[in-house]
Structure 1
Amino acid sequence: MFTGIVETVGRVAEVTPAGQAVRLVLSAPELFADVALGESIAVNGVCLTVAGISPRGVRFDVVPETVQRTDLRELRPGDRVNLERALRPGDRLGGHFVQGHVDAVGTVRSIERAGAAYLLRVQAPPAVTDYLVEKGSVAIDGVSLTVVDVDAEGFSVALIPHTLATTTLGQRQPGDRVNLEADILGKYVARQLRLRTAARPPAEEPLLRLLQEEGYTS
């Protein structure tokens, strides 16, 4: 579990295809100084497990399903990536609960200046937008952000200068692909509503039963 508060921006040291999988080696000395094998790290919002540690950096083995469902397959040596270590007991929850399980890959539609901030518009499928609400939360490349609005094509978020300076979002351009994860709480609420709707009898059934009891119909 993560919070969507990026701890540092690392660099891709190596990208090695392994069949349909990919092996990544990332460099971030200040974050990885005491990292351990088996530890979970969010890389651009994707939960990965530390598989090896060397002077070159920390190695992650990205399985085929993750390669297909995220934009990690597009990484190249030298690229910058958002990094966050898993939440520990006692840590402050500065953003929102982020699982590191990407729902879909979206596309940056536009980035516009809005006063002291910027408005980032993202094209996204229903797999993401169905769970978004105005002033709710969404993770973009692992960054916890507040939804400004949602429309038929996607959604928008506001980016403050600090976020632009301390994450990779400051380098994003229209057409770039980004990892998206909707708020898990929104998913739970939507699931419960679907279950309630499926279990509820049609609205006319109680009336029909009452009419039958009174002898008005058979």
Structure 2
Amino acid sequence: MFTGIVEETGEIHSIKGEEISIICNKILEDCKIGDSISVSGVCLTITKIGSNYLNFQISEETRDKTTLGSLVNNSLVNLERAATYQSRIGGHNVEGHVESTGICRSIKKIKDSTIVTFEADAIILSNIIVKGYICIDGTSLTVNEIKKNTFKISLIPHTIAETTFKNIKIGQLVNLETDVNARYIRKYVEEIMEKNLSE
């Protein structure tokens, strides 16, 4: 489990088949082989630890269903170590199980904030609410507005500086994961309604 508070951005050093090597610094502390790391919102397991890098294996399904399949050398990724019982939950509970990808449709600077609009599929949109959480590329963010097939979020300068959002571009794909608590509640309510209708 993660919190969606990015600890640092790492740089893709190499991609060889299913193995990916990421240059990093801060998250090397206290890491061991087998630990889980959120890599731009995808939960991956450490397979090798070097002096300034971590290695992971990426399955074919992960490459196909997330943005990790389009990474190239020197790409930046958001990194976060798994939360502990002593961790502060500054964001929200994030599983690292990407549901689908979204597309950046617009970027607008308004005073000190940057408003970004993403297009998403119907399942994602049905699981988010205004002022609710969504995880985008491993970053816990608040939904500001929902319209038809899009939603908007607001980025402050600190978030932009500390994450891969510094390089966000229109047309770019991002990894999306909605609030797991919202999904459980929706499933429970739907089951109750279905049961009542069948009685």
State the TM-score, normalized to the length of structure 1.
Answer: 0.88
- Conserved in 1, the CA contact under 8 Å of 2:107 and 2:116? yes
- Give unpaired runs (5+ residues) of structure 2: none
> Which residue is equivalent to 2:103?
107
- The residue number in structure 1 matching 2:35 is 39
Q: Does 1:129 align with 2:128?
A: no
Larger mean Cα displacement after TM superposition, 24-33 or 176-185: 24-33
Partner of 2:165: 169
Q: Is the 8 A contact 1:104 1:127 kept in 2?
A: no
CA drift at 1:34: 3.2
Q: Which structure has the greater CA radius of gyration?
A: 1
**Deviant stretches of 4+, over 4 Å:** none
Distance 2:125 2:96 in 1: 17
What is the identity, as a one-letter code, of the residue corresponding to 1:48? L
Q: Report the aligned-residue RMSD.
A: 1.2
Count of residue pairs brought into register by the alignment: 199
1:1-218 map, 5 Å: 1-17=1-17, 22-55=18-51, 57-201=53-197
Consecutive unaligned residues of structure 1, counting only runs of 5 or more, are 206-218
Range with bigger deviation, 30-39 or 142-151: 30-39
**Could you tell me the percent identity over the aligned residues?**
35
Q: Compute the displacement of 1:146 (Å).
A: 0.3
CA contact (8 A) 2:129 2:146 kept: yes
Q: Distance in 1 between matches of 2:134 and 2:6?
A: 14
CA-CA distance at 1:9 after TM superposition:
0.6
* Residue deviations 1:127-162 (CA, integer Å, cap 9, x gap): 211100000000000000000011211211000000
